[in-house]
A and B are shown apart, each in its own frame.
Chain A
Amino acid sequence: AQKITQTQPGMFVQEKEAVTLDCTYDTSDQSYGLFWYKQPSSGEMIFLIYQGSYDEQNATEGRYSLNFQKARKSANLVISASQLGDSAMYFCAMREGGTGNQFYFGTGTSLTVIP
């Protein structure tokens, strides 16, 4: 079974609108971490936001927020007030097992912001 599933290969959003990128995960660990990364066309991987499995509140970082629904095993990324520079690939990732071990990445969602 896939550890991280991103079901939206491509998404479009109007500039200044909000958009939600979906991510579901699969783990039997009680302690894990969830991450979102952005990959612009230039290729670098940029860390956006983190949510720990024991965090009770949803993580927020500027225009990024993570909608964490533990029972549903989902960790959706919400980008508010989209900007043209948000056009990129977005990857959801999970770290299992406390502070160590492997990372697992999803297949990514390509977001295009339309002027």
Chain B
Amino acid sequence: DADVTQTPRNRITKTGKRIMLECSQTKGHDRMYWYRQDPGLGLRLIYYSFDVKDINKGEISDGYSVSRQAQAKFSLSLESAIPNQTALYFCATSDMRGFNEQFFGPGTRLTVL
């Protein structure tokens, strides 16, 4: 079984709709991250969380919100989706021990029409 899972894997939605992307991990890591990937722009950090009570904005948090429901679960919400939020979204985790290598989920491909 995958250590970091994301649901859904693919989603098509319409402008103005609220959508939630979910991430679960079985690695026991405290740290979780949400990124978006756009062609030619690499990965950009949206939000990150170092524990259940700690939520931090990343580089591009506008238009997004997150919820850390438990150590293993970190959800990303688009309150009112717009077409330029069409992207590939990755959840990642890391361990505060060691060198903090990031472990990625398989990604969610989101299309906003």
Which of A's residues lie within 8 Å of B, judged by CB? 4, 6, 9, 33, 35, 37, 43-45, 47, 50, 52, 91, 93, 95, 99-100, 102-108
Which of B's residues lie within 8 Å of A, judged by CB? 31, 33, 35, 40-45, 48, 50, 58-59, 88, 90, 92, 96-104, 106-107
Q: A33-B99, A44-B106, A103-B33 are in contact. List 7 more A-B contacts (CB 8 A).
A: A43-B88, A43-B106, A44-B104, A47-B101, A93-B43, A105-B44, A107-B41
In angstroms, how far is the closest chain A Cβ from the Cβ of B102? 6
A106 nearest CB neighbor, chain B only: B42
B48 neighbours in A (Cβ, 8 Å): 102
In angstroms, how far is the closest chain A Cβ from the Cβ of B113? 21
A2–B3 Cα distance when bound, in Å, is 31
A35 neighbours in B (Cβ, 8 Å): 101-102
User: Contact at B104–A50, with CB atoms within 8 Å?
Assistant: no
